[in-house]
């Protein structure tokens, strides 16, 4: 399968025979590949008109039943973009939900889902140091439930900082929570 020119895939997820692909090519790109089709081909999924901006990307994808959630990243504002995939080869945009800005140059690393929540791990960096952030959202309405943060001051390696918070490296849900 040939992706569009200069397309950098950053997130993939299967839903049945459909492989959804998110990433960037200078602006955000979202598409799908029907693995039951021969030959395979990349089909663009339209983004809302005000979303595709220079420097932005789709950094993670979640499937919630018949809903595809694309995690819009990097350039603020950031959003969760929800698509109806009851017809998986023809996703229909439903709505966008703004995400809280957690710091300078914030980049989303990963999103995961439990039965009740969505968690998003991100990192930011600025003059005073770097931070890692975990935002927990309600799975249905995307309301913010909790935020956890850790920071590292600039200029010192982590093993030499007395005030260093543990830095989050990954996230996962155990069971339903």
- Which of 132, 131, 145 has its CA nearest to residue 177? 145
DSSP-derived 3-state class of residue 39: coil
| pLDDT tens per residue across span 13-45 | 999 999 999 998 777 789 999 999 999 999 999
- Which of 128, 134, 111 has its CA nearest to residue 163? 128
- Which of 62, 65, 1 has its CA nearest to residue 37? 1
* pTM (2 d.p.): 0.85
Give the pair of three-digit tokens for residue 163. Answer: 């005030």
The confidence score (pLDDT) of residue 62 equals 97
Residues 152, 157, 158, CA angle at the centre, nearest 5°? 55
Residues in the chain, total? 177
Q: What is the mean pLDDT of residues 109-119?
A: 94
Contacts with 144 (C-beta within 8 Å, 6 or more apart), sequence order: 100, 135, 136, 137
The confidence band for 176, taking pLDDT boundaries of 50, 70 and 90, is low
The confidence score (pLDDT) of residue 75 equals 63
Q: How far is CA 155 from the centre of its chain?
A: 29
Quote the CA–CA distance of 103 and 139 in Å, as a whole number.
Answer: 23
| pLDDT tens per residue across span 116-151 | 999 999 988 877 778 889 999 999 899 999 998 877
């Amino acid at each position: 399968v040939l992706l569009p020119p200069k397309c950098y895939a950053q997130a993939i997820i299967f839903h049945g025979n459909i492989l959804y692909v998110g990433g960037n090519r200078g602006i955000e790109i979202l598409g799908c590949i029907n693995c039951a089709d021969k030959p395979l081909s990349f089909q663009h999924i339209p983004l809302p008109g005000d979303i595709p901006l220079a420097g932005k990307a789709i950094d993670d994808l979640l499937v919630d039943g018949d809903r595809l959630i694309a995690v819009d990243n990097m350039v603020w504002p950031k959003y969760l973009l929800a698509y109806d995939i009851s017809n998986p080869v023809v996703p229909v945009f439903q709505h966008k939900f703004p995400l809280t800005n957690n710091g300078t140059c914030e980049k989303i690393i990963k999103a995961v889902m439990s039965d009740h929540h969505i968690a998003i791990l991100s990192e930011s960096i600025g003059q005073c140091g770097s931070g890692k952030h975990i935002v927990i959202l309600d799975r249905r309405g995307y309301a913010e439930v909790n935020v956890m943060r850790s920071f590292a001051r600039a200029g010192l390696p982590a093993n030499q900082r007395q005030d260093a918070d543990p830095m989050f490296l990954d996230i996962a849900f155990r069971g339903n929570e």
